[in-house]
């Protein structure tokens, strides 16, 4: 798939990235007002209700395949709790920009390790020179943003 074929997916990813910064900000405000664990719980409760409504309206999968899911795929929920708690905890202490810079840097490093080693059943995508240089530029840019 060429760049033109990927544009919709890139837009969706970019929108998701923007929403992550907005959500982290909202979650930190919520955590300040009602408490971090209470806020984390509330976010997941509302997310569960939202996902349930979407499932009722648009669901086309099957819970019958429950037992064939790899064990590690079930860790998304607990990891989501850790993410929401960590973001809500760090944003008021660092600021949205600095916290998001750290989040994106760690996210990229982890993503490229998963790609390069084909972890968790993902397709192996070689980490080459251009990707390395891209990461170097992001690190340099991140350092500039932190000053």
DSSP state of 70: -
Q: Exposed (0-12), middle (13-18) or buried (19+): which is 125, by Cβ within 10 Å?
A: middle
Q: Per residue in 36-94, pLDDT tens? A: 999 999 999 999 999 999 999 999 989 999 999 999 999 999 999 999 999 999 999 99
Same-domain status, 77 and 135: no
Report d(CA 53, CA 31) in Å as an integer.
Answer: 25
Of 146 and 102, the structure prediction assigns the larger pLDDT to 102
Give the residue numbers spanning the domain of 75: 11-59+70-94
Same domain, 48 and 108: no
Looking at the chain, the whole-number percentage of residues with pLDDT higher than 70 is 100
Q: Are residues 136 and 80 in the same domain?
A: no
């Amino acid at each position: 798939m060429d760049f033109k074929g990927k544009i919709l997916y890139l837009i969706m990813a970019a929108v998701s990235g923007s929403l992550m910064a907005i959500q982290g900000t909202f979650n930190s405000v919520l955590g300040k007002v009602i408490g971090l664990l209470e806020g984390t719980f509330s976010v997941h409760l509302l997310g569960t209700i939202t996902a349930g409504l979407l499932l009722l309206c648009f669901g086309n999968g099957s819970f019958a395949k429950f037992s064939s899911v790899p064990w590690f795929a079930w860790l998304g929920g607990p990891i989501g709790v850790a993410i929401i708690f960590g973001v809500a905890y760090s944003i008021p202490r660092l600021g949205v920009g600095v916290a998001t810079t750290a989040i994106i840097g760690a996210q990229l490093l982890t993503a490229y390790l998963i790609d390069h080693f084909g972890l968790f059943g993902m397709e192996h995508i070689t980490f080459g020179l251009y990707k390395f240089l891209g990461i170097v530029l992001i690190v340099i840019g991140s350092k500039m943003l932190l000053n």
